[in-house]
Amino acid sequence: MTLQQLEDFFNAWADMMWSTPLVVLLVGGGLFFMIYSRFRPYRYFGHAINLLSGKFDDPNDPGRIPHAQALSTALSGTIGLGNIAGVAIAISIGGPGAVFWMWVTAIVGVATKFYTASLAVMYRTEGSDGTLHGGPMYVIMEGMGKRWYPLAALFAVACLIGALPIFQANQFIQLLRDVIAIPAGWATSEEHFGFDLAASSIVALLVAMVVIGRIERIGKLTVRLVPSMVLLYLIMTLTVMYNYAAEIPATLLLIVTDAFTGAAAAGGSIGAVIMIGVRRGAFSNEAGIGTESMAHGAAKTAEPIREGVVAMVGPVIDTLLVCTCTALIILLTGVWQTETGVTGVTLTARAIEQVFPVVGMYLLLLMVGLLSFSTMVTMWFYGVKCMGFLLGAERQYWYTPIYLLLLLAGAVVSMDIVNGLILATYATMAIPTMISALYLAPKVNQAAKKYFAQLDGDK
C-alpha cells in the first residue's frame, strides 16, 4: 500500500466514524446529560474553584494526585496542538462557522465531563501493582459487568493508537523547521529529514525524563505549565484584539451567521460546518472521548462527584477560552482568506506574525513547544493505562519504548496521514465512553443529589 493509499484509507475511516451518528451521540448525549442533571452541575463552578484551590484536599484520601494536578494533567492532554493547529484546520475547511459548533460542543461537554469524570472515580479499581486505576475501561467492567469486556477492550485498543504522540510531534517539528531550519538555509529534503530526526530525538529524550517519574511527576509538571501556557496565549490574543478592535463585532457576527449558512465551508454545506466544528471541538476538549477520565481517575478523593465538578472546568478553559483565542487570532488578522494553501500550525503562525512581526514566530514556538511537550507526557500516561488494562499492570510499561520510537516517526510522516488516523481512533473511543456514561448516569445522579444536598446544607 502506497503512502497516498494509506492517507486515503485513514481519512475515509475518519470521515466514516465522524458521521451523523457519532455527532448525535456526542452532542445529543451531552444535551441529555444537561437536561437529566437539571443543569445542576453548571451552578457549582464556584465549588470547582474551591476544590482546585485545595480547600477540600485530604492527604489521606485514596488516589495519587490532588484535584488541581488531575485537572492540569487532563488539560495538558486536551490543551495541545488541537487548539492551535486543529482550530486552523477547522477554519480552513469549515470556515468561521465551525468555531460556533466548537463552542456548542464545549457547552454540552461540561455536562459530559461531569458524568464521565465522576464515573472514573466511582468505578476505579486496584490493579495488580497495588495502585488505583480509573478510566472508561474500568467504568465498563466495574459498573456494567464483565460481559461488557469487548466494549472496554475496544476503548483501550483505540486509545493505544489515539494516545500516540504522532500529531503533536509532527506539528511541533514542522513549526521548529519553519522557525530554525528554513531561515538557516537548510532547503533540501535530506537536510530537513536530518533536522527533523535530531529535533525529535531531543524531544523523545525530554519526554522520557519526565515519564520515568510516572503520574506524580507528570502532575507536578503540568500544574506549573498549564496555567503559564494559558496566560501567555491569552496575552498574545488580547494584543491581537487590541490591534484589530474595530473588526471584533463583525468577526463574532461572522462566526454565528456562517454557522447557519455554511457559506465559507468547502462546498458551502451547513452539514459540513457542523461536522467539522463538532469533530474539532470533541478532539479539542475530549468531552465524551474518555481519555481525560484516566487523569481524573487518579485524583486523591473519596468523593466521585468532587472530581466531576473539577472536570467541568476543562471544556471552558480548553475550548471556550484557548480555542477561541486561536480562532480570533486567525479571523481578525484575515490570514484564513489571504494565505491560500496554508493550514495547520503554520496558518496560526502567519496570523501571529501580522501582530508580532519580529518575535511572533518565537512566541508561538515557545507556546507550541510547551503545549506539545505537556500533551506528549500526558498521552503517554493514557497509553500506559490502556496497556495495563489489556495486558496487566505489571506489563503496562511495555508501551514506553513504542511511544518514544513513534515520537521520532511522527516528525517525518505526512500530517494528512496522522490527522486521519488520530481522528478515527478518537471517534472509536467515544462509542464505549458515551455508552457507559449514558448507561450509568442514574448512579451519578444519585451520588450528585446526596453530595450537593450535603454541600448546600453545610453552607
**Is residue 78 in some structural domain?**
yes
Q: How does DSSP classify residue 139?
A: H
**Is residue 381 in some structural domain?**
yes
**Is residue 202 in some structural domain?**
yes
Q: Are 400 and 263 in contact (CB under 8 A)?
A: no
C-alpha angle 412-413-417 in degrees, rounded to nearest 5: 160
Three-state DSSP class for 414? coil
Which of 80-94, 144-158, 176-190 is the least confident region? 176-190
**Is residue 456 in some structural domain?**
no
Three-state DSSP class for 455? helix
pLDDT in tens, 360-370: 778 877 877 77
What is the pLDDT at residue 185? 64
Q: Which of 156, 134, 137, 136 is nearest to 62 (CA)?
A: 134
Most confident listed range (99-113, 127-141, 196-210, 217-231) = 99-113
pLDDT level of residue 148 (50, 70, 90 thresholds): very high
pLDDT in tens, 233-262: 888 889 989 989 998 999 999 888 888 876
Give the gyration radius of the chain's Cα atoms.
Answer: 21
What cell does 250 get?
Answer: 463583525
Rounded distance, CA 330 to CA 328, Å?
5
Q: What is the DSSP string of 30-68?
A: HHHHHHHTTTGGGGGHHHHHHHHTTTT--TTSSSSB-HH
Cβ-based neighbours of 24, under 8 Å, separated by 6 or more: none
What is the pLDDT at residue 429? 92
**Is residue 438 in some structural domain?**
yes
What is the pLDDT at residue 155? 94
CATH number for the domain spanning 342: value is 1.20.1740.10
C-alpha angle 223-212-177 in degrees, rounded to nearest 5: 75
What is the pLDDT at residue 190? 67
β-pair type (132-133, 125-126): antiparallel
What cell does 99 get?
Answer: 468555531
pLDDT level of residue 323 (50, 70, 90 thresholds): confident
What cell does 269 get?
Answer: 454545506
Mean pLDDT score across all residues of the chain? 81
Residue 297's domain spans which residues? 3-451
**Is residue 426 in some structural domain?**
yes
What is the pLDDT at residue 76? 66
**Is residue 382 in some structural domain?**
yes
pLDDT level of residue 218 (50, 70, 90 thresholds): low
Domain tally, the chain: 1
What is the pLDDT at residue 459? 56
Count the Cβ atoms, other than its own, within 10 Å of residue 420: 22
pLDDT in tens, 68-113: 777 777 676 667 666 777 788 888 887 888 889 889 888 998 999 9
pLDDT level of residue 182 (50, 70, 90 thresholds): low
pLDDT level of residue 266 (50, 70, 90 thresholds): low
